[in-house]
Chains A and B, each alone.
Chain A
Amino acid sequence: MTTTESFASEAANSPTAPIVHLEDVGKSYGNIQALRGVSLSVRQGEITCVLGDNGAGKSTLIKIIAGLHDYTSGTMSVNGEERHFASPRESLDSGIATVYQDLALAPLMSVWRNFFLGNELTRGPFRQLDERAMKRIANEELTKMGISIPDLEQPVGKLSGGQRQCVAIARAIHFGAKVLILDEPTAALGVNQSGVVLKYVVKARDAGIGVIFITHNPHHAYLVGNHFVVLKLGRVALDTQRADITLEQLTTEMAGGSELEALSHELRDLAPDAVADVQDAIQAQEKE
């Protein structure tokens, strides 16, 4: 894989002051403690990967940073200032753009209207929408992303999942975010489109954006990440720089490490031929 090497060589550490810093942050939904004592720093020009199993609290973590939920304990500072965001607008105004896993775009609205939703271009004394400029820019930005949508009047609900992700990412980057949060952007994508998204993530980092990249896939994370945080049941199970970990270690850690080894022993006892070793189990999980 040549892309692996080029990404790996680019992914050097670049320590600067954190733009977003979480200290001991917790969040409970009623009696469910979704996050407990999470600390995290996001730096300019750095990709912070947040990994974890389903329900580990990844989406909850980024929804706090994005202003959708408020946290219930600890502190969050943005540009050195302690903040509690009351709405996503406040987060956006602080330069944080988010591409959500579960809520991205209004399905019945056309592609170009979605692209500019909340940031519409207007002209003239009556502040009329500048449709022509918006369509042109949306088209340019999407072409840069490597997806072509011939009819920008098409409702977004008719696009494929990957195309929808690309529209949302292109939009976030176009509007000049300082921090870009991506919640599992590659989860629904094929190999080619994943590659395009990963390239875009690296470009964003090189432009000085601090990226929070959430994923299930340690391979994708290791391709681009400078810094890895693994969440487990709402707690930080691992927080490390790229230099201090290998892909294999990350994969094992991500997959539950010792638990998986125990599982492999159990399965071997049940069906000796079916399970060779931990590595196979991990690979099988990867392919899923």
Chain B
Amino acid sequence: MASTITSPATADDRVSARSVGARLLSRPEIGSLVGAAVILVFFLIAAPPFRDINNTGTILYQAALVGVMAVPVALLMIGGEFDLSAGVAVTTSGLTAGLFAYQFSVNVWLGILIALAVSLAVGAFNGWLLMRTGLPSFLVTLGTFFILQGLNIAVTRLASGAVASNSISDMDGFGAAQKVFASEFKLGGVTIKIIIVWWIVFVAIAAWVLLKTQIGNWIFAVGGDAAAARAVGVPVKKVKIGLFMAVGFFAWFAGMQLLFVQNGVVQSGEGVGKEFVYIIAAVVGGCLLTGGYGSVAGGAIGALIFGMVQLGVVYAGWNPDWFKAFLGTMLLLATIVNLVVKNRAEAR
């Protein structure tokens, strides 16, 4: 509207523009970046095998296993919700593809497509139920967590008579699918698993969507204040259901990786507890538990910290029992660092 109001718009001289440094420090992932650097230096000193370039591929692989799922979990957290079923949903996806292809003796790719449909449907169901009931996502997804955990084991036993799915490694399409989801290649002597490449691609796309598109703007808004977002016309329900379906999509992808890296067999009890690892990666990366704030890159750094610590403990020759304690400490430290850094940046 071309209105021409002449008002005394003298600049407010109490406010000075924030320095570049302060702006950089107010990025959500800055705390985790500092943490990652500290951990890197620590293990470079404490664990000699950590310095071996050949182990870099292994560390990145561990990080990518968590990182792929940390992408949608971070987006969902920024959108103000949790998904406790994310860990077992990965197993559900792998089992679905494996069991379907084997039981119906069809091409592996058909099983993969069915698994995609099932994974998206689980996500859509979580989102729909949440929007329909208005219950907290903690409760709704706790329900789906138990349902999926039970179904994984029960259906597998029913179909294969064992606790793992039947091997599909000699079936049509297996080779090509394994190339896509679980192959590896050499890069300057370092063995790189293909999932690392996928992880980087996913992080780049998701970060772009979050910061540079309308959908991204809406994700921040529904997490920050869903009522205000709805009032200005943001389709809150669609955004939230979409986020849960994104978790479904990535669970599908991670499930395929699981299936094809283990030569076509998935253990039905797998995945329990992983949901917390994904949430930890997102929180360590600076996502606010209450929504409306965070970044995809932060989730990736959180996953990287996870990978470094997990293997660092091993490379340092310590008992792996220490890993969980270390991880919990990391979580606490990271959240405190995030808080302090954020407060200081805002105080400038």
Contact = CB atoms under 8 A, between A and B. Distances in A.
Interface of A: 66, 68, 87-89, 92, 98, 100, 103-109, 113, 116-120, 122, 126-129, 131, 143-151, 153, 158, 171, 173-174, 176, 196, 199-200, 203-204, 207
Interface string B1-37: 1010101111110011110000100000000000000
Contacts of B224: 106-109
Contacts of A113: 217, 220
Contact of A108 (B3, B230, B232, B293): B293
Nearest to A146: B7
> Ordered nearest first, which 10 A-B pairs have the shortest CB separation?
A146-B7, A106-B224, A118-B233, A118-B232, A108-B292, A120-B214, A89-B233, A103-B228, A106-B225, A108-B224
Contacts, number: 116
B212 A173 contact: no
Contact of B228 (A105, A129, A149, A176): A105
8 contacts: A92-B233, A108-B220, A109-B221, A117-B217, A129-B213, A150-B12, A176-B1, A200-B5
A88 B15 contact: no
A255 B214 CA distance: 46
B341 to A, nearest CB: 15
B324 to A, nearest CB: 32
A148 B9 contact: yes
B1 A173 contact: yes
A68 B232 CA distance: 10
A127 B235 CA distance: 18
B135 interface: no
Given A116-B217, A128-B212, A144-B3, 8 more contacts: A68-B230, A103-B231, A105-B228, A108-B220, A109-B292, A174-B1, A207-B1, A207-B3
B213 A117 contact: no
Nearest to A171: B232
A273 to B, nearest CB: 44
B232 A117 contact: yes
A151 B17 contact: yes
Nearest to A130: B212
Interface in B183-234: 212-214, 216-218, 220-221, 224-225, 227-234
Contacts of B213: 122, 126-129
Given A87-B230, A88-B230, A105 B225 contact: yes
A173 B10 contact: no
B3 A173 contact: yes
A106 B221 contact: yes
Contacts of A148: 9-12
A202 to B, nearest CB: 10
Tell me what chain B mostly uses at the interface: helix, strand, loop, or mixed.
loop
Task: Give chain B's interface residue range (CB within 8 Å of chain A).
Answer: 35 or more
Contacts of A143: 9
Given A128-B213, A144-B3, A153-B23, A117 B11 contact: no
B77 to A, nearest CB: 13
B346 interface: yes
B1 A196 contact: no
Q: Which of B15, B214, B232 neighbours the largest number of chain A CB atoms within 10 Å of its CB? A: B232
Contacts of B10: 148
Given A122-B213, A129-B214, A103 B1 contact: no
B292 to A, nearest CB: 4
A116 B213 CA distance: 12
B125 to A, nearest CB: 23
Contact of A68 (B15, B231, B293): B231
B70 to A, nearest CB: 21
A118 B234 contact: yes
B105 to A, nearest CB: 42
A109 B227 CA distance: 14
Contacts of A109: 217, 220-221, 224, 292
A145 B23 contact: no
A106 to B, nearest CB: 4
A111 B233 CA distance: 17
A64 B8 CA distance: 36
A150 B1 contact: no
Interface string B260-301: 000000000000000000000000000010001100000000
Contacts of B235: 89
Nearest to B23: A153
B232 A88 contact: yes
B231 A98 contact: yes
A199 B5 contact: yes
Interface in B221-267: 221, 224-225, 227-235
Nearest to A126: B213
Contacts of A171: 232
A109 B252 CA distance: 31
Nearest to A168: B232
A68 B228 CA distance: 11
Interface in B43-66: none
B346 A151 contact: no
A158 B15 CA distance: 12
A89 to B, nearest CB: 4
A262 to B, nearest CB: 40
Contact of B221 (A117, A119, A174, A207): A117
Contacts of B214: 120, 122, 127, 129
Given A87-B230, A199-B5, A199-B7, A103 B217 contact: no
Contacts of B12: 148-150
Contacts of A207: 1, 3
A150 B293 contact: no
